[in-house]
Structure 1
Amino acid sequence: MNKYLAGSLSAFTAAVIGFLIHVGSQEWVRSWVSAHMQGRAVIPSWDVRCVALLTSLETGIGLVVLYALIRPALPRRSSLLRGVVLGVLLLAVMGRLFRQPAMNLVIGNPLPVVAVQDGISWVLWTGMSVVVAAVYDALSPADAS
């Protein structure tokens, strides 16, 4: 089978399955969470922020592993370009590149709100990816691999 056809069918099938699980679970998950959270208040605190900081290492490690795996397939021109490509790929995989901004617009969020909300996500993931690429490349040059 042609690799483009195989890739297209794989992407389509994955999208359909993800959509069905997402849409099919929303109503009962929302009800279940609501029932279990009755009478409870969730308040941001420094304890939560400290745990978030410590557990963000998981994301950093995941990014490094992913970068190391796909690095040979990325453009060799610069770490900045490789980092941006990694960031765009991550945004696309998470549905944050086009899907989430489009959905936010469709549900009625004003364009400036969508730009800020989704722009933060773009800056965050692209920034982290550029840092991973730059540091990894500086410490482990491609020709030394």
Structure 2
Amino acid sequence: METAGAESLSSQKNPAAALAAAGQRNRCGGNAGRRRQLVGRRRVLFFLVAAFFFSHPYPEKCHFFGQSHQIFHVFLVLCTLAQIEAMVLDYESWREIYSSLQRDLAHDFSALFLATVTCSVLTAAYMAWRVKNKLGLKEE
């Protein structure tokens, strides 16, 4: 328990040393390392199967269900889910270093995110208004 406290204290003083220590822990493997490898392999497998069905119109007998394009989309969704799982695993394993580097800046990033979303929504509304005016459409 003392090691974790001393390690987090040293990471606050020297983020570069904490990054190196976290990297060393992450390379050691264990269950988390094996899980990351499994997720990576699944992601590659899903992508390759999706690429196969994208490039080969294999089962084209049924016109409503089971066409190659539909199967392609199913495997692409599975690939995306595996990618999200990999990102969560990476974040969980590097959480200490992220926390030590960001320190008290989390609220600043949250405010920046909200400002970005607000600007995006306002820009979209303004552009929609301009397009309607340009096309001469009246609101009903």
Q: TM-score normalised by the shorter chain: which range applies?
A: 0.3 to 0.5
**Higher Rg of the two aligned structures:** 2
- After TM superposition, the score normalised by the length of structure 1 is 0.33
- After TM superposition, the score normalised by the length of structure 2 is 0.34
